[in-house]
């Protein structure tokens, strides 16, 4: 049977302590958890000292802290052209890798940054039109074309910085015996694209850097007509070390599997059995939906 976990994303605002979350996860049918970037230092220590669940993966940066300029640690860009920001993001990433090794977790999910820090105006307009029921047509096609052109023109220096950051992190991961999972992202300006991921993964052995598939992110980019969701696992499935599993309603993700309209067929077909399955469900989802998600994905062949 494949390994699966519940992300601490679901814990936000629901529990007095992360120990209480761990007990709830176990009660709802999850023997393991993923510590995500929403957990602060005290909560991380509680989970690492807890016997109720195993910790199989971390989602960088862990723990969540506030940096000198007042931003949360997860707001830092590993592809930033500001070298001070990039260097700090790398140091926080190394700390996450060290925590993973301490926890006995061999996988860490990384967002590799973005082409700048802002969503493209074209994507914002595509999302507005989608919510208004406009999914195709000349205006939509023009926005998609401009978004692709804008990203292609601007990506070069950011991708170079992301590659530098990954090289530093990969050295640390190899030393610690922890694998990095590069996640596909929710916004079009973010790194990597499918082709970028293929190029980046080719530079590292599978035991150091792999691909991390996010079902909801792939679904949303597909619905906007920007990236075919099937490309990710068709082309990167052999390097996939884990997946974030959540359903999608329109463009809203992080729903419990079974409570949206995500396409699970291609996931069941291409997600390798050795990839860790992490249920990344948001804190507004009720307990009964969290509990039912495991059986639903077993029925769909994903677990």
pLDDT, tens digit, 9 for 90 and up, residues 203-257: 999 999 999 999 999 999 999 999 999 999 999 999 999 999 999 999 999 999 9
Tens digits of per-residue pLDDT, 142-164? Answer: 999 999 999 999 999 999 999 99
Work out whether strand 247-249 and strand 252-255 pair parallel, antiparallel, or are unpaired: antiparallel
Q: Which domain holds residue 84?
A: 4-119+148-299
SS3 163: helix
Q: What is the pLDDT of residue 121?
A: 97
Burial of residue 129, with CB atoms counted within 10 A of its CB: 0-12 exposed, 13-18 middle, 19 or more buried: middle
- CA-based torsion, 136, 140, 145, 149: positive or negative: negative
Distance of alpha carbon 5 from alpha carbon 103, whole angstroms: 15
Q: Is the dihedral of CA 210, 231, 303, 296 positive or negative?
A: positive
In this structure, is residue 184 part of a structural domain? yes
DSSP 68-94: TTS-BGGG--TT-SSHHHHHHHHHHHH
Mean pLDDT of 118-128: 97
Per-residue pLDDT of 179-214, as tens digits, reads 999 999 999 999 999 999 999 999 999 999 999 999
Residue 134 belongs to a domain: no
Neighbours of 264 (CB within 10 A): 20
Evaluate whether 192 touches 182 at the Cβ level (below 8 Å). yes
Task: Write the burial class of residue 10 (CB in 10 Å: 0-12 exposed, 13-18 middle, 19+ buried).
Answer: buried
Place of tokens 């291409």: 270
The band of 22, judged by pLDDT with boundaries at 50, 70 and 90, is: very high
The per-residue pLDDT for range 244-290, each reduced to its tens digit, is 999 999 999 999 999 999 999 999 999 999 999 999 999 999 999 99
C-alpha distances out from residue 291 to 85, 172, 179, Å: 40, 36, 29
Is residue 101 within 8 A of residue 172, CB to CB? The reply is no
Give residue 4's pLDDT.
98
Task: Say if 62 falls within a structural domain.
Answer: yes
- The answer to whether the CB of 226 falls within 8 A of the CB of 188 is yes
Q: Is residue 228 part of a domain?
A: yes
Q: Do residues 275 and 302 make contact, with C-beta atoms less than 8 angstroms apart?
A: no
Does residue 279 form part of some domain? yes
Is 132 part of a structural domain of the chain? no
Domain tally, the chain: 1
Q: Does 133 score more than 90 pLDDT?
A: yes
**Burial of residue 132 (number of CB atoms within 10 Å: 0-12, 13-18, 19+):** exposed
Question: What separation in angstroms does the CA of 235 have from each of 56, 105, 194?
Answer: 25, 26, 8
Q: What DSSP element (H or E) covers 67?
A: none
49-107 pLDDT, tens digit each: 999 999 999 999 999 999 988 999 999 999 999 999 999 999 999 999 999 999 999 99
User: Does 225 fall in a domain?
Assistant: yes
- Residue 240 forms part of a structural domain: yes
3-state secondary structure of 28: coil
Contacts of 230 (CB under 8 A, 6+ apart): 266, 270
CATH number at residue 262: 3.20.20.150
pLDDT at 1: 75
- Which position has the higher pLDDT, 69 or 31? 31
Calculate the average pLDDT of the chain.
97
59/93 Cα distance (integer angstroms): 10
């Amino acid at each position: 049977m494949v390994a699966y976990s519940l992300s601490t994303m679901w814990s936000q605002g629901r529990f007095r302590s992360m120990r209480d979350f761990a007990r709830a996860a176990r009660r709802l049918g999850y023997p393991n958890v993923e510590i995500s970037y929403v957990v602060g230092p005290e909560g991380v220590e509680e989970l690492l000292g807890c016997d109720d669940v195993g910790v199989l993966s971390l989602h960088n940066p862990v723990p969540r802290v506030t940096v000198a300029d007042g931003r949360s640690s997860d707001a830092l860009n590993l592809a930033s052209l500001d070298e001070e920001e990039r260097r700090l993001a790398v140091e926080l990433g190394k700390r996450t890798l060290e925590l993973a090794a301490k926890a006995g977790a061999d996988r860490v999910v990384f967002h590799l940054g973005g082409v700048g820090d802002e969503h493209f105006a074209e994507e914002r307009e595509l999302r507005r039109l989608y919510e208004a029921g406009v999914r195709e047509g000349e205006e939509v096609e023009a926005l998609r074309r401009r978004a692709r052109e804008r990203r292609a023109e601007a990506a070069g220096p950011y991708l170079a910085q992301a590659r530098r950051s990954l090289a530093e992190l990969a050295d640390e991961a190899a030393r610690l015996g922890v694998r990095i999972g590069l996640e596909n992202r929710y916004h079009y300006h973010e790194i990597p694209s499918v082709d970028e991921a293929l190029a980046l993964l080719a530079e590292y052995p599978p035991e150091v850097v792999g691909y991390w598939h996010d079902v909801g992110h792939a679904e949303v980019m597909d619905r906007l007509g920007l990236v075919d969701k099937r490309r990710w696992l068709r082309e990167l499935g052999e390097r996939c070390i884990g997946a974030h599993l959540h359903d999608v309603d329109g463009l809203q993700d992080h729903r419990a599997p079974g409570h949206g309209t995500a396409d699970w067929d291609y996931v069941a077909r291409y997600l390798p059995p050795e990839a860790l399955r992490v249920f990344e469900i948001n804190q507004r989802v009720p307990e009964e939906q969290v509990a039912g998600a495991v059986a639903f994905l077993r029925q769909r062949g994903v677990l």
